[in-house]
A and B are shown apart, each in its own frame.
Chain A
Amino acid sequence: MLKIKNLNASYGSKKVLRNLNFEIKKGDITAIVGESGTGKTTLALSIMGLLSEEHDIKRISGNILFNGTNICSATRKELSRIRWKKISMVFQNIDNILNPTVSVYKQISEILNGKNDNSKIKNMLERVGFPSDRADAYPCQLSMGEKQKALIAMAYISEPELVILDEPTSSLDSETKNILTEVIKKLSSKKTVILLTHDLDTVKRMSEKTMVLYGGSIVESGPTKKIFSNPRHPYTRGLIRSYPSPDRTKDLQGIRGSSEFVDTGCPFWPRCTQSINICKVYRPPLKKYGDTMLACHRGGIIPLLNIENISKSYRNLEVLKSVYLSVYEGETVTLLGKSGSGKTTLAKIIMGLLKPDIGYIYLENNKIEKWDAGFYKKVQMIFQEVESAVSHRLNVIDAVMEPMLIHREKDKPEIIEKAKEVLSEVELPTDSNFLHLYPHHLSGGELQRVVIARALILSPKLLIADEPTSSLDASIQAKILKLLNRIQEERGLGMLFITHDLGVARKVSDRILKLKNGIITEERLK
């Protein structure tokens, strides 16, 4: 029904839409999601044929085929035959969408070309829940919700084939939102709908298909359920993580940086935590992965760590029985279990401090044969025993520099600078007084931060945190957990978080794995 081919649009030198290619089938409700400024409204306007005729700063190229008619090259006459009759749109409800000098009733009837079809209008107003006695009111006399209802009524009154909803519910309170979502769902049966929004809750409730738009390109698309339950593009995951959904227990995390249009490479690379060189140069094509489409050079969020079939026993005591586990880039997996359940044993096996009886460990899909300096640059561990994790002979700066001195890749002044940088990243002072304190001078929270700084200075991709807060009081624990969360957002750090505390686990994890009797079972986060 709607086919978009190589669609490009730019405002001056700023490219807003890049090479969009997609197709929308009749009867589908397709959501296009993305942050503000990713080109959603521009896309809507170009489908409405509103972009081509405005000032020529907005250049548009490519084809938008609506039932065979190319909207991009259509004449005004052709457009007027389609617009509002075949394709209608609910504009983003900002105050100046409705004409302030014309009553609502009149504005709706305008769409029906002045035909004063009273019963039809009344019926429509009733269906959207607009109080019919207020139909003669002027826009300034209406509430936000009422205005939105009026806009929806306008879009549906002409029984169009395709409706574009641009942020239909985002500025409304949740009750009105619920009502309107239901209204739209009812109105949209047997219609083709494009839903443009950043409101993921609405997307989940209304659409069957979702496309994720970033920087004018589609980065991921597929069935809505799949996209939400198993996002593969880092941007999609970032969007879901920053959305306060009611069944989410982990703290909100944003996406680092701010959205900007880049000319070459993947549109998301400056903010992506797993970008590699190729991401900066070539734009990834949209490729099919099962029933979803994904544009990512790395094939979506990469698995950092895979553990396969690890078993370990101490004499007769079987601690781990054929354990499988994986940690993806930028996610926190919590290993939950009571003390003595083998959590630390597993951590030590991953770190190469213990040898498993059988089983393999893969880092970024490479099997680990020996634990060398290269491995430890990528994987770091925070030990449970904070008090003794730093030698009593090392002061703060020496302790933080130690990992870099071991790797001997830089000169000392550079290492000192780097150490200070990391210390301020973990929110510790960097004055010379503090730098020369010894571990026994520091409080538990400070020492834990020093230990975290030590683990971060090598810029690892995976951090194993073994009960990092169990010795701290609740308020300091909260700060440390927030800190880890923030560091994860900025660095895309994969984290294997080991704890016995379910409350903490729910607060930090994307996934919770329960370790009991040497067996790992996945917990549903609800």
Chain B
Amino acid sequence: MHISIRKNLKKDKSARAGLIIFIMILLISATAPFFIKDPEAFSKIILSRPSITSILGTNDLGQDILSRLIYGLRTSVFVAISAGLLATLLSVIIGVIAGFTGGLVDEVIMRIIDAMLVIPSIIILILISAFIKPDIISLVILIALFRWQVGARIIRGETLAIKQKIHIYSARTFGAGKAYLLKRHIIPDLGNIIMASFLQNARSAVFLEAGMAFIGISSLSSISLGTIMHNALEFYYLPVWLWWLLPSGIMLSLVLVSFTLLSNLIEKVIDPRLKDA
């Protein structure tokens, strides 16, 4: 059952495409400040068509749309990675504690997770956000708080299964303590699941953030693809949507698609039966 992500990546074209898009997004987001105009700078030329000076034209405030798009992308990537990491961290800690300890602790944690899962988190998120108008950091925390439960459940189940594996029993009969088992066996064995869970969380974090910005309940202090689309929608009757609304939609889709393709790859790695499908 020795599995390698790299080997699967070589065979899987769509996963490779996903990875290439993801790397490009990362590169663009990382290097944006060096070649992009200030996205906040106003000008008198408003709602202009695409030109050499501003490739995707300007918005109603005369700001360069492309610069804003790329800054929006940066926000998406930041939210994806930080909310993804935070939610996954919570999933791993809580899931492993529940699965590894078992007994009453497991029972209590699982009931809490069940309770949280039945409440539609999006509604709660919208309510809280409408109330506190979260900035980007608190949004990340909020998203993470509402996204860890599914991952924790999966990781708890997997931990239960790994705990019964013979190599864990072997290690126990060599005299290994809990810390050793977790560090050397259980967490590494969970690696692929953790990766998958991270990608899932990252993807839905991007979606949630954009969605909440789009309906206008997150703070306007940061540039987000959702806000851009929200603003662009006001001018749908002008041809400006072609270079304002459409590119922002495409940009958001690209981020989501890259995460989806990558998590498909990980799922195939975890469950080889999916390979032929």
Contacts and interface: CB of A to CB of B under 8 A. Distances in A.
Interface stretch (B36-44, B167-175, B220-228): B167-175
Contacts of A389: 166-167, 170
Interface in B120-168: 165-167
B2 A440 contact: yes
A381 B173 contact: yes
Interface string B37-60: 000000000000000000000000
Contacts of B170: 381, 383, 389-390, 451, 454
A403 interface: yes
Contact of A391 (B3, B180, B189): B189
A315 interface: no
Interface string A351-383: 111000000000000000000110111001101
B174 A458 contact: yes
A454 B188 CA distance: 21
B180 A440 contact: no
A406 B180 contact: yes
Nearest to B165: A388
A351 B173 contact: yes
Nearest to A438: B2
Contacts of A524: none
B71 to A, nearest CB: 41
Contact of A373 (B169, B175, B189): B175
Contacts of A388: 165-167
Q: How large is the interface on B (under 10, 10 to 19, 20 to 34, 35 or more residues)?
A: 10 to 19
Contact of A406 (B165, B166, B175): B175
B176 A406 contact: yes
B1 interface: yes
B174 A392 contact: no
Q: How large is the interface on A (under 10, 10 to 19, 20 to 34, 35 or more residues)?
A: 20 to 34
A385 interface: yes
B173 A380 contact: yes
Contacts of B171: 402, 406
Contacts of B268: none
A393 interface: yes
Contacts, number: 57
A412 interface: no
Contacts of A407: 174-175
Contacts of B172: 353
Given A376-B174, A406-B171, 5 more contacts: A351-B173, A353-B169, A390-B170, A406-B180, A451-B170
A424 B163 CA distance: 31
Interface of A: 351-353, 372-373, 375-377, 380-381, 383, 385, 388-394, 402-403, 406-407, 438-440, 451, 454, 458
Given A351-B173, A380-B173, A392 B1 contact: yes
Contacts of A440: 1-2
B185 interface: yes
Q: 7 tightest A-B contacts by CB? A: A373-B175, A376-B175, A403-B174, A391-B167, A388-B166, A392-B2, A385-B166
A376 B167 contact: no
A389 B3 CA distance: 17
A403 B180 CA distance: 11
Contacts of B180: 406
Contacts of A375: 175
Contact of A372 (B166, B175, B188): B175
Contacts of B175: 372-373, 375-377, 403, 406-407
A391 B186 CA distance: 10
Contacts of A393: 2, 188-189
B169 A402 contact: no
Interface string B263-274: 000000000000
B271 to A, nearest CB: 16
22 contacts: A351-B173, A353-B169, A375-B175, A376-B173, A376-B174, A381-B173, A383-B170, A388-B165, A388-B166, A389-B167, A389-B170, A392-B3, A393-B188, A402-B174, A403-B174, A406-B174, A406-B175, A406-B180, A407-B175, A438-B2, A440-B1, A454-B174
Nearest to A375: B175
A148 B45 CA distance: 128
A353 B172 CA distance: 8
Contacts of B165: 388
B191 to A, nearest CB: 9
B272 to A, nearest CB: 13
Interface string B173-205: 111100010000100110000000000000000
